[in-house]
Structure 1
Amino acid sequence: MSATTPALSTVTDAKFPSRFKPFSHFPPSLHFRTPHPQQISSIRCQSINTDKKKSSRNILDNASNLLTDLLSGGSIGSMPIAEGAVSDLFNRPLFFSLYDWFLEHGGVYKLAFGPKAFVVVSDPIIARHILRENAFSYDKGVLADILEPIMGKGLIPADLDTWKQRRRVIAPAFHNSYLQAMVKLFTACSERTILKVNKLLEGEGYDGPKSIELDLEAEFSSLALDIIGLGVFNYDFGSVTKESPVIKAVYGTLFEAEHRSTFYIPYWKIPLARWIVPRQRKFHADLKVINTCLDELIANAKESRQETDVEKLQQRDYLNLKDASLLRFLVDMRGADVDDRQLRDDLMTMLVAGHETTAAVLTWAVFLLAQNPSKMKKAQAEVDSVLGAEKPTFESLKNLQYIRLIIVEALRLYPQPPLLIRRSLKSDVLPGGHKGDKDGYAIPAGTDLFISVYNLHRSPYFWDRPHEFEPERFLVQNKNEEIEGWSGFDPSRSPGALYPNEIISDFAFLPFGGGPRKCVGDQFALMESTVALTMLLQNFDVELKGTPESVELVTGATIHTKNGLWCKLKKRSDLH
């Protein structure tokens, strides 16, 4: 297994509308048919018969493990070792195998594939140590190598020094007044999608209520792209209703990011590959289209620059500004580095990462709700009670509690990304965690780690009924005092927070990471998802076109579907 393989956990993904989904490039075996929620528990929690599993391995698997023993067997501490079958990479998504090994070996173990070994962390106590308590002893490792050609020195792949500088500049831009203005934008963009569906429903020959079949994953992807364009750099992609060269280039770039995260040999680093390999030529052509667009937007913003202090920038009347974008804020900030290349890297990072989260969480939220009609009705009842026929506002979001819980429960069950990657910059001693070695585990500098968010979110040690869709779970305190070193789940720990976070859960819930390198746009993404889901449920009844099992899951940088989320939509019969 090459050093690039762990990038299955990158924070970006290609969330493509169906018209741009070239999934023939994925090995067919990476397509996984999604089980019904009632089946998930038995599928995930079945114990592993290690002897039987080993006996079924082929010659390639045995050769890989022999190489592992010779080259990396003793390089990482004395923690449990999960010998990886290379064939597991092709039979199902990697994070499913990581879950099985977690149940067998515990909250921290060494995963060895061939000459390369990784530490897999599935324990909140250890995750807290890596992400918060000792955060600056780790960097993004392989993840930065893969994303650098796309995002440059944007916040996600940036080295520690660059990250510290850019974080100080970017974080203040996500202030309260900006988020209020963004809710207005989220509503306006979601209205485009609602109007589009209504036009399809009321098409030629309309004679009363009927339903249409629509790929909601594709619609959510277009919606998210429009929101990022307008909210981050004041550019209207208009992707809900049209196509353009820029949109095609964006999706081409997103797909290449995912391709690199799942391909085992970094052939794109070979000299001349960017000119010889057709897909690499296309990738660099797509990048040029996007960068040209961003350069023009940056130049326009700088021409009308109104330099001022951060405090005054945050006091602007964002609800009535013609341009309330993040780009406007970053350009106008006094004393900030406004180097064009760095700004472009920042914008590209937000475009790629910000686009993904919304499209993914909405897709899986609808997938889960469609299988739980009573919960969908409960959500619609809340929307009716809070909004009636009105549109969501920043203030009304505070009263849409159940909708917000649906969003975070979808992120718990289908985290984006399912894995986080870190690399130790110096030797460290990881805590033993729950049921681990009380003396902890020593790791040398240069150790690559997977923090399995998927395992954390579905851990039977930290969650009741971990595989069930229960949005209400986030309202209940869970002290779990028998687990030493974990403070339990306590909503009162972060008073006033609209959404549960890593503080409330003491790092058992990490949809946006945690610690100083936590995603800076988490509230933007969560509010955006809440508004979009609210307006969908406010206007339409939704059900899956086929069975839940027919929705095939594709692993890559994140979790998405193979052929879209096809649903039947009709106007609500009880609409106001």
Structure 2
Amino acid sequence: MASTTNSMLQFQVFNGDFSSKLQPFLSPHTSPLTLRHRRCRFICQSTRTEKSKTRNLMDNASNLLTNFLSGGSLGSMPTAEGAVSDLFGRPLFFSLYDWFLEHGSVYKLAFGPKAFVVVSDPIVARHILRENAFSYDKGVLAEILEPIMGKGLIPADVDTWKQRRRVIAPGFHALYLEAMVRVFTDCTERTMLKFEKLLEDAHVQGTIELDLEAEFSSLALDIIGLGVFNYDFGSITKESPVIKAVYGTLFEAEHRSTFYIPYWKFPLASWIVPRQRKFQYDLKVINDCLDRLIKNAKETRQETDVEKLQQRDYLNLKDASLLRFFVDMRGADVDDRQLRDDLMTMLIAGHETTAAVLTWSIFLLAQNPSKMKKAQAEIDAVIAKGRITFDCIKSLEYIRLIVVESLRLYPQPPLLIRRTLKSDKLPGGHMGETDGYQIPKGTDIFISVYNLHRSPYFWDKPDEFEPERFLVPKKSEGIEGWDGFDPSRSPGALYPNEIISDFAFLPFGGGPRKCVGDQFAVMESTIALAMLLQKFDVELKGSPDSVELVTGATIHTKNGLWCKLRKRADVK
């Protein structure tokens, strides 16, 4: 694609011509974040017009092929024309958003011999995720992740998921989460000490430049290691073969999530293709490590009932990990392979997502200094000079809202993938067909969390960074089938969840297959963000537009989030 298009797709700097053309549509208070998104859409539309003649042949052939092979079963649904050519060169969820604005909340994405249904509506999402959840499985996602996560919770079929969920969910009980606060603070303190040491070495300048995305990734990996399998990766200060293997596996998961032809399934591909040979080696390194940890845990097993496990003195327990809980649970005997799949799933899902949440939280705060100061004022009032406790997290309300607002703007992941196990009828949703849409068995569905979170129909100023928005109820305003945003529906919730928003906000999914570690993730992110802002002021090294955005399993930066850190002048 043209260089201007590539620049737009990756949020690079745009020249003044585009700003002048957009100016009539902007208010005096339009934020840089909104401006960047509108520039993005403007350039996309211009590029489409210029290249329409070249693309029509490929697009029409693709759509005809899709309609023929799908037997016209989705024929009543709006179709995103030009799907094939628009998919190349930029993150998929950008194109899905453009087509959402053009075609509505439920549309068909024609892609060669395959058709996908794209859902951008909370009413339809609620039907798929909660009301009719067991008529769907993970489909394409399971196929991609099975070689990595096996039958872990994310890719597992419905029957396996039901069995493992009964074992895993009790592990995230209140006393365990309270004990994890110590793990979160200890690991984050290591990171802060590392930053302080770097500042001491650069005492003349008083400022250091760091890739905070990389630092957050190391921090999240250490937390997952200790919290899930009682293993200290020590990645904040060193690199080991296991750490290299973990990152190698993450890169491969990302590669498989974005590569259209599953060549890794071809016979002998794991031996012929160099990256697949490396992937097999990385898996072996991690599996050997997990096997040792599982073996050690089983050798020291103390079998007991789940109720007694949840009443242990976790604050003084040497090994408070989830692995210990799973091994000790009476009646939950499971083979080492299944345990390995469960642990691998938590390692990958719990590591990369948290790093991404912290990265985008800082990215957004750095562009909003007044909100950063407001956050620091809350931190100073709640924490003072003591350590963060479990009760502190409840009082760090604004920090938690920053975390979830970052998840709204940059959801992790931006898409939820499902496949129908039997024919179903989707609701029409807001502004859709009154009679809904009949979909056959085997239909692949993309629930675009990105579109839901930025929908102009369900959010005021959807592209703006406003953590305060979650404190204010929002009425349904005549949208039939949606109950609006109401914090009173889930009193005492740690974060504004899918119940409060009636599925317009899905930071951790929704329904039975919602992420089991949601509270773990929110607490971990809140503590890490609070401890960083307690000691340091942060600003971006370059302009926001220089931060290039790429996506795979999560939304992350292309070249890191380079920031300037300095000790807070108002804190001794």
TM-score where L is the length of structure 2: 0.93
For structure 1, list consecutive stretches of 5 or more residues without a partner in the other structure.
Answer: 1-26
Q: Give yes or no for contact 1:424–1:445 (8 Å, CA) kept in 2.
A: yes
Deviations 1:105-140 (A, max 9, x none): 111011101111000000000000000000000000
- The amino acid across from 1:260 in the alignment is R
The 3 A distance-change label for structure 1 pair 33 and 412 is same
Match of 2:197 in 1: 199
Name the SS for the 1:434 alignment partner: coil
> What is the CA–CA distance in structure 2 between the aligned matches of 1:374 and 1:513, rounded to whole Å?
31
- The amino acid across from 1:507 in the alignment is F
> What is the CA–CA distance in structure 1 between the aligned matches of 2:61 and 2:515, rounded to whole Å?
40
> What is the CA–CA distance in structure 2 between the aligned matches of 1:84 and 1:277, rounded to whole Å?
32
> What is the CA–CA distance in structure 2 between the aligned matches of 1:272 and 1:51, rounded to whole Å?
44
> What is the CA–CA distance in structure 2 between the aligned matches of 1:65 and 1:406, rounded to whole Å?
42
Q: Which segments of structure 1 move beyond 4 Å, counting only runs of 4 or more?
A: 27-31, 44-56
The one of 486, 494, 497 equivalent to 1:498 is 494
Pairing 1:246–2:242 present:
yes
Q: CA deviation at 1:34?
A: 5.9
Q: How does 1:207-222 map to 2 (within 5 A)?
A: 207=204, 210-222=206-218
> What is the CA–CA distance in structure 2 between the aligned matches of 1:85 and 1:120, rounded to whole Å?
12
> What is the CA–CA distance in structure 2 between the aligned matches of 1:312 and 1:210, rounded to whole Å?
51
Q: Give yes or no for contact 1:404–1:530 (8 Å, CA) kept in 2.
A: yes
Pairing 1:459–2:455 present:
yes
Deviations 1:470-511 (A, max 9, x none): 000000000123000000000010001010100000000001
Pairing 1:76–2:74 present:
yes
Q: CA deviation at 1:416?
A: 0.5
Q: CA deviation at 1:421?
A: 0.3
Q: CA deviation at 1:77?
A: 4.6
Match of 1:511 in 2: 507
Match of 1:127 in 2: 125
Name the SS for the 1:292 alignment partner: helix
Match of 2:101 in 1: 103
Deviations 1:118-168 (A, max 9, x none): 000000000000000000000000111110101011000111110000000
Percent sequence identity over aligned pairs: 80
Residue-pair matches, total = 548
Q: Give yes or no for contact 2:56–2:82 (8 Å, CA) kept in 1.
A: no
Q: How does 1:120-519 map to 2 (within 5 A)?
A: 120-203=118-201, 206-207=203-204, 210-519=206-515
- Structure of higher RCO (CA pairs closer than 8 Å, 6+ residues apart): 1
> What is the CA–CA distance in structure 2 between the aligned matches of 1:366 and 1:383, rounded to whole Å?
15
The one of 519, 528, 531 equivalent to 1:532 is 528
> What is the CA–CA distance in structure 2 between the aligned matches of 1:497 and 1:34, rounded to whole Å?
38
Name the SS for the 2:237 alignment partner: coil
Pairing 1:92–2:113 present:
no
The 3 A distance-change label for structure 1 pair 29 and 374 is closer
Deviations 1:349-389 (A, max 9, x none): 00000001110000000000000000000000110111112
The 3 A distance-change label for structure 1 pair 67 and 30 is farther
> What is the CA–CA distance in structure 1 between the aligned matches of 2:440 and 2:394, rounded to whole Å?
46
Q: CA deviation at 1:243?
A: 0.5
Please say which of residues 234-243 and 195-204 is displaced more in the overlay: 195-204
The 3 A distance-change label for structure 1 pair 31 and 343 is farther
Q: Give yes or no for contact 1:384–1:538 (8 Å, CA) kept in 2.
A: yes
TM-score where L is the length of structure 1: 0.92
The 3 A distance-change label for structure 1 pair 282 and 48 is closer
> What is the CA–CA distance in structure 1 between the aligned matches of 2:398 and 2:570, rounded to whole Å?
20
- The amino acid across from 1:235 in the alignment is Y
Q: Give yes or no for contact 1:84–1:111 (8 Å, CA) kept in 2.
A: no
Q: Give yes or no for contact 1:31–1:562 (8 Å, CA) kept in 2.
A: no
Q: CA deviation at 1:51?
A: 7.5
The 3 A distance-change label for structure 1 pair 380 and 540 is same
Q: Give yes or no for contact 1:123–1:508 (8 Å, CA) kept in 2.
A: yes
- The amino acid across from 1:427 in the alignment is S
Q: CA deviation at 1:55?
A: 4.2
- The amino acid across from 1:371 in the alignment is Q
> What is the CA–CA distance in structure 1 between the aligned matches of 2:6 and 2:288, rounded to whole Å?
36
> What is the CA–CA distance in structure 2 between the aligned matches of 1:29 and 1:539, rounded to whole Å?
35
The 3 A distance-change label for structure 1 pair 428 and 77 is farther
> What is the CA–CA distance in structure 2 between the aligned matches of 1:295 and 1:445, rounded to whole Å?
38
Name the SS for the 2:232 alignment partner: coil
Q: Give yes or no for contact 2:414–2:450 (8 Å, CA) kept in 1.
A: yes
Name the SS for the 1:477 alignment partner: coil
Q: CA deviation at 1:90?
A: 2.0
Name the SS for the 1:87 alignment partner: helix
Name the SS for the 1:517 alignment partner: coil
Q: Give yes or no for contact 1:120–1:450 (8 Å, CA) kept in 2.
A: yes
- The amino acid across from 1:196 in the alignment is K
> What is the CA–CA distance in structure 1 between the aligned matches of 2:8 and 2:481, rounded to whole Å?
37
The 3 A distance-change label for structure 1 pair 212 and 322 is same
For structure 2, list consecutive stretches of 5 or more residues without a partner in the other structure.
Answer: 14-31
The 3 A distance-change label for structure 1 pair 34 and 449 is farther
Q: Give yes or no for contact 2:84–2:110 (8 Å, CA) kept in 1.
A: no
Please say which of residues 34-43 and 258-267 is displaced more in the overlay: 34-43
Match of 2:28 in 1: none
Pairing 1:571–2:564 present:
no
Deviations 1:437-489 (A, max 9, x none): 11110000000000000000000000000000000000000012300000000
Superposed CA RMSD: 1.9
Q: Give yes or no for contact 1:477–1:490 (8 Å, CA) kept in 2.
A: yes
Match of 1:33 in 2: 11
> What is the CA–CA distance in structure 1 between the aligned matches of 2:118 and 2:193, rounded to whole Å?
46
> What is the CA–CA distance in structure 2 between the aligned matches of 1:318 and 1:374, rounded to whole Å?
39
